[in-house]
Amino acid sequence: MGLTISLGSIAGGLKTIKNLFQTIYDALYIQQMSENRFHNDESGWRVFESVNGKIGNRWWLWVCCSVSVIFYQIAQGRGANVVVEHFENSTQQNIIVVCDRYSAYKSLAKQLSFIILAFCWAHVRRDFLDAAKKYPKLVEWALDWVNKIALLYHINNQRVKKFDSKQIIQWQSADFKKEHEKLVEAMNTMADERDAFIDSYKPHDPETTLLTEVKYKILISLQNHWQGLSVFVEHPEVPMDNNKAENLIRNPVTGRKNFYGSGSLWSFQLAAMMFSIFQTMILGGLNCRHWLRSYLTACADNHGQPPEDLSPFLPWEMDDIRKQQLSKPFNTS
């Protein structure tokens, strides 16, 4: 806005006001733990401050997206303990987490029995495309499987258009059931072809080639993850892939490539808070600048402390008039 301020003053001001956002950040987490559909992903992050017991500056940025909240946190590691601690306070009896095949999520489902993992079909598709790029002789075979996956997407897209989220599958319309039967048939056909190849595989046979082994590894992975890859069939509200979380983590990762990460512990905490707050407000259809000005004004009116009543600042608790006020374009004049 044209005002010259030293970097030290900016950093000092941000450090001072960080605590004003903690109550909002906590409220986002509490709300998210009341929901039951999630997308999760993680990526590397650098924190350039020494921590006792921590070797190096490699940390991890985690994102968890639910219906009304997008929650980011930066953790020291990439282990299952991060997601276990995140979900262990869930108030739901059963939740579904869409994710990739990373072992931490598998450990999460083992430790918290109420969690169902829905694996990402985009990652399976990538397995076949990577094989086609690395082994030219596998191009035809790999692209044939890519086309099979594309067919699943197509049938499911047609099915979802006819899905009534207020009804269970057994009570859906005839049009939905027709597409549902097509999807089940396509899944069964794919599974049969996969199993036929696996059953015919002979690892110690001298005639077994490298290309055969590559095919086997891809298809055995498909078989091992089939249960998680099939969750979307009985839960049409669950997408086939984890693109939602991957897209949400892309902007922070792009920023990280430019500014390398966070220079201190307090600054990475503030970064996680603001990633979470801004993306959640955008998800709720709000203008972040309106929200930020309104919230900081309320903090100033409360003698530099967070307002006691947070409902005017949480999208799921706002009335329609409040939402309209905070969703208008920002006028800088």
CA distance 114 to 91: 10
* 90 DSSP 8-state letter: -
Cβ pair 76, 135 in contact under 8 A: no
**pLDDT value for 333:** 45
Give me the residue spans of the domains in the chain. 7-118+243-283, 121-228
CA distance 25 to 268: 14
**Coil, helix or strand for 58?**
strand
Query: What per-residue string of b and e applies to 261-273 under the rule 16 or more CB within 10 Å gives b?
Result: bbeeeebbbbbbb
**pLDDT value for 131:** 97
Residue 246: CB atoms within 10 A of its CB come to: 18
| pLDDT(108) > 90 | yes
| pLDDT(77) > 50 | yes
pTM, whole model, 2 decimals?
Answer: 0.93
Residue 267 or 203, more confident: 267
CA distance 135 to 216: 14
**pLDDT value for 271:** 95
**pLDDT value for 206:** 82
**Mean per-residue pLDDT, 56-64:** 96
Mean predicted lDDT score pLDDT of the chain: 95
pLDDT digits (tens, 9 = 90+) for 183-242: 999 999 999 999 999 999 988 878 779 999 999 999 999 999 999 999 999 999 999 999
End-to-end CA distance of the chain: 11
CATH topology of domain 7-118+243-283: Nucleotidyltransferase; domain 5 (3.30.420)
**Mean per-residue pLDDT, 146-169:** 96
**pLDDT value for 208:** 78
Strands 58-65, 70-75: pairing kind: antiparallel
